[in-house]
């Protein structure tokens, strides 16, 4: 069953759409954009109200719906289809508004709410039916741009450790480092692997997410990366104890096991995933 997300602060509209669509789709409601846009990538199609914008709690410095659409399409290969809805535009002049504001170049469809739920359902089914063909065409366009290296994120505030990983793994991985979970979530980029330090720091100016919580979040995604939890506080002689810290992680490794052992572990995980 296709998964659809509705991002709209009109509770009555959301309830009506969900009730009407429930037999055909799995529908989730958002009154505002979630903290991380990773959550939206889990869906096949988004229905977003044009007047909604990112809230003051949103950590990505983008505000308009057009910017958010561009962000999703730029940072994700498997981005969802996007339908913009509005109750300020009459169904008879939708095309004129779309051309005037260049919205049609960004979204897959623009829909006036007064056209009715039956019409919205027809539009949604049409878009989803053609989605596989669009993905195939997009894959052909991107095939020459695919990088041979795996992408890796390191969430750790130890600059020396991060520098060592970047230098040691540069021939095997494309490495990006982030000092906090918040910085990592701002990136909203697809990674093959994520290495998470157990003691990631807490900055008072941001919403805090500890390492087990971050790992559980990553593993809840539709296309979760491989995740390795590391720690400098657990010795390699106590690695069995470390495995109980976060069972959701694909592997645990004490930092004193060394980079050679870490590389071997990552290669084993990638081999099993194929």
The residue assigned the tokens 């450790």 is: 161
Same domain? For 190 and 239 the reply is yes
Q: pLDDT at position 137, please?
A: 59
Same domain? For 268 and 218 the reply is yes
Give CB contacts under 8 A, 24+ apart, made by 8-12: 8/47, 8/48, 8/49, 8/52, 8/85, 9/49, 9/52, 10/49, 10/87
Whether the model clears a pTM of 0.85, i.e. scores above it, the answer is no
Range of the domain at 224: 150-273
Among 41, 46, 77, which residue's Cα sits nearest to residue 222? 41
Q: Which residues contact 21 (CB under 8 A, 6 or more apart)?
A: 4, 27, 117, 121, 124
Q: pLDDT at position 77, please?
A: 67
Question: How does pLDDT run along the chain (274 residues), one tens digit per residue?
Answer: 789 999 998 999 999 999 999 888 899 998 887 777 777 887 888 998 887 754 444 443 444 666 777 777 777 767 888 888 887 766 666 555 555 445 545 678 888 888 889 989 988 888 888 866 655 555 555 444 445 578 999 999 999 999 999 999 988 899 999 998 888 888 756 799 999 998 887 665 556 678 888 999 999 888 899 999 998 887 766 656 666 778 889 999 999 888 999 999 998 898 877 6
CATH of the domain at 68: 3.40.50.2300
Same domain? For 166 and 77 the reply is no
Ranges assigned E (strand) in 169-212? 173-178, 193-197
Q: Is the Cβ–Cβ distance between 88 and 114 less than 8 Å?
A: no
- Cα separation, 122 vs 125, in Å, equals 5
- Cα separation, 176 vs 268, in Å, equals 21
Domain C-terminal end among 87, 112, 142: 142
Q: Are strands 193-197 and 173-178 parallel, antiparallel or unpaired?
A: unpaired
Same domain? For 250 and 179 the reply is yes
Domain C-terminal end among 126, 142, 158: 142
Same domain? For 112 and 70 the reply is yes
Q: pLDDT at position 199, please?
A: 85
Same domain? For 79 and 174 the reply is no
Same domain? For 128 and 200 the reply is no
Instruction: Give burial (CB, 10 Å; 0-12/13-18/19+) of 29.
Output: middle
Same domain? For 260 and 201 the reply is yes
* Half-sphere exposure at residue 131, Cβ-oriented, CA atoms within 13 angstroms: 18
User: What is the number of structural domains in the chain?
Assistant: 2
Same domain? For 133 and 231 the reply is no
DSSP reduced 3-state for 27: strand
Q: Is the Cβ–Cβ distance between 37 and 188 less than 8 Å?
A: yes
Domain C-terminal end among 75, 107, 142: 142
Q: pLDDT at position 40, please?
A: 81
Which pair of tokens denotes residue 65?
Answer: 């719906």
Rounded (to 5) percent helix, strand, coil in the chain: 45, 20, 35
Same domain? For 113 and 155 the reply is no
């Amino acid at each position: 069953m296709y998964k659809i997300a509705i991002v709209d602060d009109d509770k009555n509209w959301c309830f009506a759409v969900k009730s009407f669509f429930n037999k055909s789709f799995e529908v989730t409601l958002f009154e505002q954009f979630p903290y991380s846009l990773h959550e939206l990538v889990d869906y096949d199609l988004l229905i977003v109200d044009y007047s909604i914008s990112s809230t003051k709690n949103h950590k990505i410095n983008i505000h308009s719906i057009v910017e958010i659409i561009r962000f999703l399409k730029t940072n994700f290969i498997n981005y969802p289809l996007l339908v913009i809805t509005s109750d300020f535009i009459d169904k008879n002049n939708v095309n004129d508004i779309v051309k005037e504001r260049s919205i049609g170049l960004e979204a897959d469809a623009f829909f006036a709410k007064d056209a009715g739920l039956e019409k919205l359902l027809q539009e949604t089914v049409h878009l989803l039916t053609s989605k596989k063909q669009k993905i195939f065409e997009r894959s052909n366009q991107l095939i020459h741009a695919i990088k041979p290296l795996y992408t890796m994120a390191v969430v750790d505030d130890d600059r020396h450790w991060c520098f060592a990983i970047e230098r040691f793994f540069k021939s095997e991985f494309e490495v990006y480092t982030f000092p906090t979970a918040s910085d990592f979530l701002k990136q909203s980029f697809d990674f093959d692997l994520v290495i998470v330090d157990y003691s990631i720091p807490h900055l008072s100016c941001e919403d805090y997410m500890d390492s087990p919580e971050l790992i559980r979040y990553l593993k809840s995604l539709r296309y979760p990366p491989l995740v390795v939890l590391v720690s400098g506080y657990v010795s390699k002689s106590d690695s069995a104890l470390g495995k109980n810290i976060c069972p959701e992680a694909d592997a645990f490794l004490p930092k004193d096991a060394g980079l050679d052992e870490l590389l071997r572990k990552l290669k084993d995980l990638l081999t099993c995933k194929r």
